[in-house]
Chains A and B, each alone.
Chain A
Amino acid sequence: MRAGLAAYRLFLAVVLVDLALALWQPDAARDSAVTSWRFLLEVLSIVPPVMVLMGLLDVWVPRRLVESHLGPGSGALGAGLAMLLGTAAAGPLYAAFPVAVSMQRKGARLANVVVFLGTWAAIKIPMLMMESSFVGLRFALLRLAFTVPCILATGWLMERFLAGDGTAVALVPAAEPATAERTEETSR
């Protein structure tokens, strides 16, 4: 029970601050609650299907396939593929984390995982479309052109910095160690 509560510590802290705020600045507290509620609805409209898709990918995509196309020997093609996967994304970055973890668990190279995350965050196609309609096509395309090399560089640098560091592995299954093992079994 105590472990369960510890997981909620951030949420509880926010609730406490909100309560304190309600005494001092009731308007801000109400805004906070309303925005959080709206954001929760948005998160709930995206995260559950992503989780199910991730489960399906986990079961169906064989490890060998990921390893050969995104693994250490995949080179420029692997980075290109990671980018392609990222651009087709829907939803905000936090929806990408579980997908990236499952890629990494199946043998994708760290640089490609980072490239995937960067692409998903900054230059996914739905976002570029929004951006060109709100800000302008020239702005969106130019930002795309500058962002691509930067994302590739970030992936490469991350791999340098984390080389030999085994900690960058999925931690969510750590709470449920069975998940990782099961996945390994089925992917073989």
Chain B
Amino acid sequence: MISAALFGLTAAALLASWWADPAKTREALQIGARSMHGLAPRILGMVGLVGLVLALVPPAAIQRLFAVRGLGGFALVAAVGSIVTMPGPIAFPLVGSLARLGAAPATLATFVTTLTMVGVVTAPMEVSYFGRRFTAIRQILSFVMAIVVGLLMGAFLR
């Protein structure tokens, strides 16, 4: 659904742009194609890695992690959330079922935040755009942030 909206929006923007200035539009398409071309190997690498990680650590195993209580469980969940990146259709139902199973809000919030903001698996792609230093610092700060948000959630929701 998001994809259909995105393709529609892009098509509309392209038409409007073409109507306004075909030469500029052609250049825009060239820029897009060139960065797509540069990105292709990274995308294949990331996609392969995500499949591999999810095969070795399947969602059912992640569910079991939430059964580990206390600080150790919290740290485990944060670590797994940082490593794993999930396609949306797998991630949302997983988080939903974790909530239904009674996962602690602190742990759940940390998992959601690390899952989306920190990605060891997507790091190669980020490095190719921003360089190693930027990627490392951003991911470390995001990890700390996920823990802070999780602890705050735990203090406010019980």
Interface residues of A (CB under 8 A from B): 7-11, 14-15, 17-18, 21, 28-29, 31-40, 42-43, 45-56, 58-60, 90-94, 97-98, 100-101, 114, 117-118, 121-122, 126-127, 130-131, 134-136, 138-139, 142-143, 146-147, 150-151, 153-154, 157-158, 161-162, 165, 167-173, 175-176, 179, 182-183, 186
Q: Which residues of B contact A56 (CB under 8 A)?
A: 13-14, 17, 25, 28, 32
Bound CA span A52–B6, Å = 11
12 pairs across A/B with beta carbons < 8 Å? Answer: A14-B52, A49-B3, A51-B35, A54-B32, A93-B119, A93-B122, A134-B92, A143-B112, A146-B153, A172-B38, A179-B34, A186-B27
Interfacial residues, chain B to chain A (CB-CB below 8 A): 2-3, 5-7, 9-10, 13-14, 17, 24-25, 27-36, 38-39, 41-52, 54-56, 58, 85, 87-90, 92-93, 95-96, 99, 105, 108-109, 112-113, 116-117, 119, 122, 124-131, 133-134, 137-138, 141-142, 145, 148-149, 152-153, 156-157
Inter-subunit contact A45/B3 (CB<8 Å) = yes
Q: How far is the CA of A98 from the CA of B35 in the complex (A)?
A: 8
Question: A121 CA to B105 CA in the complex, in Å?
Answer: 19
